[in-house]
């Protein structure tokens, strides 16, 4: 029974930064080799970053991914790492690059895994199950592969699979059982979602049973636009036993020794004894075909036994907080911003965003601005200053009244127009500071406010990134209380306990316009997250009149969330509608 030391490289990748991602593969492959590993696996689309969206339609991008893979194989060998088997995700395409404007979308493009060995790309596998729901649109981008790839390496048959392959029964994992493999290596770019780690382990266990093989599951970490990848890489035995598990949101190398069943006599071992690139043999079947590749050479002997261990799961609040911190940090750093600025109202939302920003970037990269008006209470200004002091961020005060008065003196405004004017003057000030000092503006509207439209368009919604975009108000409070238990409390107790107010007119409270967040949030969750209708929401125990009121607000607010003005499409590709690019994208056309 051969002992294979595997290393799962749970690392961060940046969309479009092919050179940087390749360098990370070389760096972590060195670490894996230093740890004595025979095989190291990197996440799905490690070389290109994930998700690349419509970048895949640019042939120059696909060609760059293909070139980088070949160069990486050679570079690893030049680094003295040729004996290490390196499994890495990238984007491939069938045949030479077609003229993209003529090609059907998705045609011939592949979400691929490659195994690199001795300077060569010795095996490739194309993802079979393509997710096309939720945040995924892979039917738009890729052709599904229809063959499993099995590499005989050190006397063990290793199958290559990619991400969604593990989320659906049938396909590659049943083919792996048929192929009699000892190990399935699954490379992933699986985005975080609250409690997703509770789903992953049973899933990997089911697939390990289906394949009758050990499964090595490696996932990406890090933020990309609105997604954050949480790692949670693991190794599961064919009997479902959890052999090793990495941390959540941690960049790390999970190294683990596996005693694996030896493969039967190699089907093509005799043909591959010379130094030439191994030949692929294909077994045809009604189901997926199986492509077999056999590598020569023995595994180096191991002088000790390494177990990856099983990292503890972190609490729900820690999970969300860490996701928000990592999402913000990577958005800021990958987009090249030096610093962020935000308005501090003294309220809970801006306090939590400030605490997230300080945890993500350090206080020296965060500026908080008190934008007080005549309606701002003394406690609001005190709470904002208190927060600044607790967190150590840069603090400045920019009263808005002189500018508001200039508008009021020159225009006839009343009611809502005056309320919104104050929020918009604050937006102009923050954007002016952004232009003057290069800060990224953070906006602080939580998911509950966004859902019901309780914000000012081009006012408090101004900003390049919103850490609370997907966080309901009740969870904002929960996070604040949790964070204050972790070391010195950054958030003033008063910001947590006082009733929320927009302070745009005298004595205004959120509760003047909105139901209590404790009853509002469950309705939003049912309607927005679970597509429940009115009857289902009422059947779930919500008050009918309240359901009607909230649904009306949510429907009307749909428009407000589309701040980027829509306009009639007339061309081959209109921005946004049928041209969908990542925001963070470092791919440059060679300039």
Residue 193 makes contact with a second copy by CB under 8 A:
yes
Q: Which 278-297 residues touch a second copy, going by CB under 8 A? A: none
CB of 425 to a second copy, least distance (A): 7
Question: Under the criterion CB under 8 A, does residue 199 sit at the interface with a second copy?
Answer: no
Count the residues of the shown chain that bind a second copy, applying the rule CB under 8 A.
125
Are the CB atoms for 480 and 495 separated by under 8 Å? yes
Q: Which stretch binds a second copy (CB under 8 A): 174-182, 201-209, 237-245, 421-429?
A: 421-429
Task: Collect all residues with Cβ–Cβ distance below 8 Å to 322 and sequence separation of at least 6.
Answer: 248, 249, 314
What is the residue-wise DSSP string for 97-152?
A: PP-TTTSPTTTTEEEEEEEEETTEEEEEEE-SS---STT--HHHH-PPP-EEEEEE
Q: Is 344 annotated as a binding residue?
A: yes
Q: Stretches 23-31, 67-75, 299-307, 423-431: which one binds a second copy (CB under 8 A)?
A: 423-431
Q: Beta-carbon neighbour count of residue 241 at 10 Å?
A: 11
* Interaction between residue 170 and a second copy (CB under 8 A): no
Instruction: Say whether 381 is catalytic.
Output: no
**Distance in angstroms (rounded) separating the CA atoms of residues 411 and 432:** 23
Q: How far is the CB of 557 from a second copy (least distance, A)?
A: 10
By C-alpha distance, which of 434, 428, 462 is closest to 338?
Answer: 434
Site for a second copy in 106-135 (CB under 8 A): 106, 132-135
- Return the H-helix or E-strand segment holding 324: helix 316-334
Q: Interface with a second copy includes 529 (CB under 8 A)?
A: yes
413, 494, 522, 546: which one binds a second copy (CB under 8 A):
413
Catalytic residue among 44, 120, 138, 503: 44
Instruction: Tell me 298's DSSP state.
Output: P
147 bridge partner residues: 289
Each residue 366-405 as x (binds a second copy by CB under 8 A) or -, in order, gives --------------------------------xx--xx-x
DSSP for residue 527:
I
**Active-site entry in 53, 120, 143, 163:** 163
User: What does the alpha-carbon distance between residue 183 and residue 4 come to, in Å, rounded to a whole number?
Assistant: 10
Pair 342, 350: CB distance under 8 Å: yes
Give me the 460-499 binding string for a second copy, x by CB under 8 A, dash otherwise.
-xxxxxxxxxxxx---------------------------
- 252 annotated active-site: no
Q: Applying CB under 8 A, which part among 117-125, 271-279, 286-294, 406-414 lies near a second copy?
A: 406-414
Place of tokens 């990958």: 334
Which one of the spans 78-86, 380-388, 429-437, 504-512 is the region binding a second copy (CB under 8 A)? Answer: 429-437
Shortest distance in whole angstroms from residue 579 CB to a second copy: 6
123 contact partners, CB below 8 Å, separation of at least 6 = 114, 115, 149, 151, 160, 278, 280, 291, 293
- Which of 23, 169, 194, 310 lies at the binding interface for a second copy (CB under 8 A)? 194
196 is in an annotated binding site: yes
Minimal distance in Å, beta carbon 30 to a second copy? 31
Q: Specify the DSSP class assigned to residue 529.
A: I
**What is the phi/psi pair of residue 536, to 5°?**
-70, -35
What is the rounded distance in angstroms from the CA atom of residue 328 to the CA atom of residue 362? 12
SS3 string of 197-260?
A: HHHHHHHHHHHHHHHCCEEEEEECEEEECCEEEEECCEEECCCCCEEEECCECCCEEEEEEEEC
Nearest-angstrom CA–CA distance, 78 and 73: 9
C-beta closer to a second copy: residue 146 or 578: 578
* Residue 44 bears catalytic tag: yes
Catalytic residue among 53, 120, 127, 503: 127
Mask: binding to a second copy, 298-337, rule CB under 8 A, as x and -? ----------------------x--xx-xxx--x---x--
In the region spanning residues 65 to 104, those forming contacts with a second copy, defined by CB under 8 A, are: 99-101, 104
What's the CA gap between 297 and 304, in Å, rounded? Answer: 21
Quote the CA–CA distance of 45 and 431 in Å, as a whole number. 35
The distance of closest approach from Cβ of residue 407 to a second copy in the complex, given in angstroms and rounded to an integer, is: 6
Cis peptide bond prior to 51, omega within 30° of 0: yes
Compare residues 118 and 447 and give the one whose CB is closer to a second copy: 447
| Shortest distance, position 292 Cβ to a second copy, whole Å | 32
- For a second copy, the binding residue among 31, 82, 206, 226 (CB under 8 A) is 226
Half-sphere exposure for 59 (CA within 13 Å, toward CB): 13
Q: Of residues 25, 451, 504, 553, which one binds a second copy by CB under 8 A?
A: 451
Residues between 550 and 579 that touch a second copy (CB under 8 A): 551-552, 555, 558-559, 561-579
Smallest distance, Å, CB 173 to a second copy? 19
Residue ranges of the binding site: 133, 190, 196, 343-350, 420, 444, 449, 560
Residue ranges of the binding site for ATP: 343-350, 444
Give the catalytic positions in this structure: 44, 127, 163
Residue ranges of the binding site for deamido-NAD(+): 420, 449, 560
């Amino acid at each position: 029974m051969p002992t294979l030391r595997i290393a799962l490289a749970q690392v961060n990748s940046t969309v479009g930064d092919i050179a940087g991602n390749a360098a990370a593969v070389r760096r972590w492959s060195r670490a894996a080799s230093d740890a004595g590993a025979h095989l190291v696996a990197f996440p799905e689309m490690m070389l290109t970053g994930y998700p690349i969206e419509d970048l895949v339609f640019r042939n120059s991008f696909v060609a760059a991914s293909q070139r980088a893979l070949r160069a990486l194989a050679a570079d690893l060998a030049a680094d003295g790492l040729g004996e290490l088997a390196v499994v890495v995700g990238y984007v491939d395409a069938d045949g030479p690059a077609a003229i993209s404007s003529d090609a059907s979308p998705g045609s011939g493009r592949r979400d691929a895994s490659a195994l690199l060995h001795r300077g060569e790309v010795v095996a490739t596998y194309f993802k079979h199950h393509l997710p096309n729901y939720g945040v995924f649109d892979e039917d738009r981008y890729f052709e599904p592969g229809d063959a499993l790839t099995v590499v005989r390496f050190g006397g063990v048959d290793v199958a290559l699979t990619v991400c969604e392959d593990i989320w659906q029964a049938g396909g590659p994992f049943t083919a792996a059982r048929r192929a009699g493999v000892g190990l399935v290596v699954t490379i992933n770019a699986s985005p975080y979602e609250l409690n997703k780690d509770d789903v992953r382990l049973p899933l990997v266990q089911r697939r390990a049973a289906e394949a009758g093989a050990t499964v090595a599951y490696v996932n990406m970490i890090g933020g990309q636009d609105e997604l954050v990848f949480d790692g949670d890489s693991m190794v599961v035995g064919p009997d479902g036993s959890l052999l090793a598990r990495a941390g959540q949101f941690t960049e790390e190398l999970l190294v683990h020794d596996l005693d694996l069943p030896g493969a039967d006599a190699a089907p093509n071992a005799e043909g591959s004894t010379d130094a030439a690139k191994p030949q692929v043999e294909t077994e045809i079947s009604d189901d997926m075909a199986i492509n077999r590749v056999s590598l020569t050479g023995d595994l180096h002997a191991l002088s000790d036994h390494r177990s990856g261990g099983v990292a503890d799961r972190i609490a729900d609040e820690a999970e969300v907080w860490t996701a928000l911190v990592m999402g913000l940090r990577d958005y800021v750093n990958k987009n090249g911003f030096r610093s962020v600025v935000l308005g501090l109202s003294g309220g809970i939302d801006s306090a939590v965003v400030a605490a997230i920003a300080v945890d993500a970037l350090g206080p020296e990269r965060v500026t908080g601005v008190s934008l007080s008006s005549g309606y701002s209470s003394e406690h609001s200004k005190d709470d904002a200053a208190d927060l600044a002091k607790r967190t150590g961020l840069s603090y400045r005060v920019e009263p808005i009244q002189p500018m508001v008065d200039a508008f009021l003196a020159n225009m006839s405004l009343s009611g809502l127009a005056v309320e919104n004017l104050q929020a918009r003057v604050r937006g102009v000030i923050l954007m002016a500071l952004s232009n003057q000092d290069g800060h990224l503006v953070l906006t602080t509207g939580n998911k509950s406010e966004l859902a019901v439209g309780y914000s000012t368009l081009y006012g408090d919604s101004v900003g390049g990134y919103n850490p609370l975009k997907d966080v309901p108000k009740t969870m904002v409070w929960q996070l604040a209380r949790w964070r204050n238990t972790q070391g010195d409390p950054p958030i003033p107790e008063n910001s947590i306990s006082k009733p929320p107010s927009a302070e745009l007119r005298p004595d205004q409270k959120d509760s003047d316009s909105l139901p209590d967040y404790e009853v509002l949030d469950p309705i939003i969750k049912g309607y927005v997250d679970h597509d429940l209708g009115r009857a289902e929401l009422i059947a779930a125990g919500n008050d009918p009149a309240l359901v009607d009121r909230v649904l009306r607000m949510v429907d009307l607010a749909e428009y407000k969330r589309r701040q980027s003005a829509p306009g009639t499409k007339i061309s081959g590709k209109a921005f946004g509608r049928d041209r969908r690019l990542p925001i963070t994208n470092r791919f440059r056309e060679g300039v």
